[in-house]
Structure 1
Amino acid sequence: MGCYPSRIKQRFPGYDGPIELASQTSFTVSEVEALFEMFKDISGSMADDGLISKEEFQLALFKNSQKENLFANRIFELFDLKHRGAIDFGDFVKSLNVFHPNTSLDEKVNFEFKLYDLDDTGFIERKEVKQMLDALQKESEMRLSDATVEAILDKTFQDIDGNQDGKIDKDEWINFVSRRPSLMKIMTLPYLKEVTTTFPSFVFNSEVDDIAT
């Protein structure tokens, strides 16, 4: 079994072992190994290249590789840590880590801010919030008048943009979510602490056993 990790590295480009990833994240070694089973399912759904493409990511979320979604696209961009148009296993675990129940609130707040900062300017601007509203309307088939959309934007920036400069900076965002903690609920996925029961087959090919022997 000693060559098992090297075979994985050949098949999965950029593969980081479970011990290394556990040391860098809130996941245990067992949870990382279970996540590898999830990763293999997703990365092999359309092409057996050991990476998750944008289409495979969308397929995993929507059961449809062609469905466009602003938030799914943005999450894919943030998960693609190496900016190569695909997610490797290390990217996958390190990015999912922000949703782990044991990850700090600061990391969750920072990720959510980046999620809404669509243009990566360090600010959430009015046009970006409008993009999100338009995307939500499209997804829900809800139709709001232009006047209603503008009223929502006005109220949003009145509540969050403390210095009224027309954009939301990191400090203003932190202040806003601290007053509305319910907004952070989407940043924690409790099942990530139960992932070993969802993907138990890691027990049969554990890399930790290989190292121990």
Structure 2
Amino acid sequence: MPLVSRQSFLVQMKSRLMSSCCVNHKLIREKDKALLASQTYFSEDEVEALFELFRKLSSSLVDDGLISKEEFQLGLFGNSRKQTLLANRLFQLFDSKRDGAIDFQEFVRALSVFHPKAAQTEKAAFSFQLYDIWETGFIQRKEVKELFLALLDESDLILTDETVEAIVDKTFNEADSKGDGKIDEEEWEHFTTQYPSLLQSVTLPYLLDVRTVYPSFTTV
């Protein structure tokens, strides 16, 4: 296909997608706003405000009313091509339907866990899933190390291999209270009550005031 006609085709397709996605977004918001508010820690006004954030993320690369993995990574790191274990795991947890994209309902429900008012048990369960990389229902030492290295990679902190091993060993041994070489969800929840700082990354303070951050769709 020649460049000019291909550009014209893409412009037409983008116009059609924008028309259809605006209608779809409206239907989603009107139909599910009350339901999402009843199932999460957000009010109906806050669900409306979150729609502005969702709209920006879901249209950052392709305006199709869904957040793709690349758009998710772009929102997290400002780079749609940056492949990291952390980004992959978070995307998988947000994409509860496992269909390769995040819709508005999935987005709001997942963000609810990050709400400061969300129960610690919910945050612990989410972080357990995050560490359970191989999805076996248990956290193994290698998974703790892999995610710790992924988190370290996102920070400016540089640690020696010996320090990393010592931290991983201490964390795993303390969490594995049954001493069976793996951490189950009950052990992990108990461990996070002893060390609540582990759940700080599963709390986003700005969600308490989301209508101020994304006010475009709030009601009067």
Q: TM-score range by the shorter chain?
A: 0.7 to 0.9
Query: Residue 117 of structure 1 contacts residue 123 of structure 1 at CA under 8 Å; is this kept in 2?
Result: yes
CA distance in 2, matches of 1:114, 1:48: 30
Q: Which moved more, 1:91-100 or 1:157-166?
A: 157-166
**1:148 Cα deviation from its structure 2 partner:** 4.4
Inter-CA distance 141–27: structure 2 relative to 1 (3 Å threshold): closer
Inter-CA distance 33–155: structure 2 relative to 1 (3 Å threshold): same
User: 173, 177, 200: which one pairs with 1:162?
Assistant: 177
Q: Are 1:74 and 2:89 matched, yes or no? A: yes
Correspondence 1:78-93 to 2 at 5 A: 78-93=93-108
Query: Residue 13 of structure 1 contacts residue 88 of structure 1 at CA under 8 Å; is this kept in 2?
Result: no
Unaligned regions of 5+ residues in structure 1, if any?
A: 1-5
CA distance in 2, matches of 1:162, 1:122: 16
Give the counterpart letter for 2:145 in structure 1: K
**1:136 Cα deviation from its structure 2 partner:** 3.9
Number of residue pairs matched? 199
Q: Are 1:19 and 2:52 matched, yes or no? A: no
Inter-CA distance 9–168: structure 2 relative to 1 (3 Å threshold): farther
Give the counterpart letter for 2:89 in structure 1: R
Correspondence 1:1-150 to 2 at 5 A: 8=22, 10=24, 17-139=32-154, 140=156, 142=158, 144-145=160-161, 147-150=162-165
Correspondence 1:167-186 to 2 at 5 A: 167-186=182-201
Query: Residue 13 of structure 1 contacts residue 50 of structure 1 at CA under 8 Å; is this kept in 2?
Result: no
Query: Residue 21 of structure 2 contacts residue 63 of structure 2 at CA under 8 Å; is this kept in 1?
Result: no
Unaligned regions of 5+ residues in structure 2, if any?
A: 1-19
Give the counterpart letter for 1:10 in structure 2: N
Query: Residue 14 of structure 1 contacts residue 88 of structure 1 at CA under 8 Å; is this kept in 2?
Result: no
**1:13 Cα deviation from its structure 2 partner:** 9.2
**1:95 Cα deviation from its structure 2 partner:** 0.5
RCO comparison, higher one (Cα < 8 Å, 6+): 1
TM-score (normalizing by structure 2): 0.81
| Aligned CA-pair RMSD | 2.4
CA distance in 1, matches of 2:67, 2:27: 11
Question: SS in structure 1 opposite 2:137?
Answer: coil
Give the counterpart letter for 2:41 in structure 1: S
CA distance in 1, matches of 2:42, 2:59: 23
Equivalent residue, structure 1, for 2:210: 195
Inter-CA distance 93–137: structure 2 relative to 1 (3 Å threshold): closer
Give the counterpart letter for 1:200 in structure 2: P
TM-score (normalizing by structure 1): 0.84
Q: Deviations over 1:62-82 (max 9, x none)?
A: 111011221121111000011
**1:10 Cα deviation from its structure 2 partner:** 2.9
